[in-house]
Amino acid sequence: MDRNTVIGFILIFGLMLAWMYTTMPSQEELERQRQERLAQDTIPEEQEDRDIRFEEDVTDAESGADETDADQPSLGIFGYRSAIDTVSTWVETPLYRVRFTNMGGGPASFHLKEHHRWDSGTVQLMSDTTRSAYSLEFLSTENYNIETDRLLFRPISPEPQVTLSEGENTTIQYELLLEDESRLIYTYTIDADSYQILLSITFEGVEHHISGRSFELVWKPAIPPTERDIESEAQYTSAYSYAGEVLEEFQSTDEGYRESIITGNVSWVASKSKFFTQIMKSQQPTDGAILTSELWMNPEDDIMVHDYSTALRTRLSDTGSYNYQLYLGPLEYYRLRDYDTTAYDMVDTGFGFMRWFSDPFVKYIILPFFAFIGDLTGNMGVTIILFAILVKIVLYPLTKKSFESMAAMRELQPEMEAIKEKYKDDPQKQQQATMKLFKTAKVNPLGSCLPNLLQIPVLITFWRFFQNAIEVRQEPFLWATDLSAPDILLNLPFTIPFMGSHIAGFVLLMTATMVVQMRVSGQGNTASNPALKMMQYVLPVMLLVIFNRLSSGLSLYYLVYNALSIAQQLLINKQMDHVKLMESVDKKKAKEMKKEKRLEEKKARKEKNKQPVD
**241 close to 250: Cβ distance less than 8 angstroms:** yes
Task: Report the run of H or E that residue 283 belongs to, with start and end.
Answer: none
* Residue from 525, 523, 515 nearest 559 by CA: 515
**320 close to 202: Cβ distance less than 8 angstroms:** yes
The contacts of residue 129 (CB under 8 Å, 6+ apart) are 48, 52, 57, 60, 61, 99, 108, 109
> Which pLDDT value is given to residue 53?
37
Residue 302 CA to residue 304 CA, distance in Å, equals: 7
DSSP code per residue over 132-194: -SEEEEEEETTS-EEEGGGSBPEESS--SEEE--TT-EEEEEEEEE-TTS-EEEEEEEEETT-
**113 close to 123: Cβ distance less than 8 angstroms:** no
Residue 602 CA to residue 587 CA, distance in Å, equals: 23
Q: What Cα–Cα distance (Å) separates residue 50 from each residue in 45, 109, 233, 331, 388?
A: 14, 11, 17, 21, 38
* Residue from 129, 178, 165 nearest 149 by CA: 129
Which pairing describes strands 161-163 and 88-92: parallel, antiparallel, or unpaired?
parallel
* Residue from 289, 246, 285 nearest 269 by CA: 289
Distance of alpha carbon 579 from the chain centroid: 51
Which pairing describes strands 276-282 and 268-272: parallel, antiparallel, or unpaired?
antiparallel
Residue 522 CA to residue 421 CA, distance in Å, equals: 21
End-to-end CA distance of the chain: 66
For the chain (length 614 residues), average pLDDT per consecutive 10? 50 54 48 42 36 40 44 73 83 95 93 92 87 94 92 86 92 92 94 96 92 92 88 88 92 87 94 95 93 84 83 90 95 94 89 82 92 91 92 78 65 68 71 69 58 72 86 90 87 80 88 83 54 68 84 90 85 63 52 58 66 56
Let me know how long the chain is.
614
Going from the N-terminus, what domains does the chain have, and what CATH number goes with each? Answer: 3-20+358-575 (no CATH), 43-347 (2.70.98.90)
Name the DSSP letter for residue 306. E
> Which pLDDT value is given to residue 76?
85
> Which pLDDT value is given to residue 145?
93
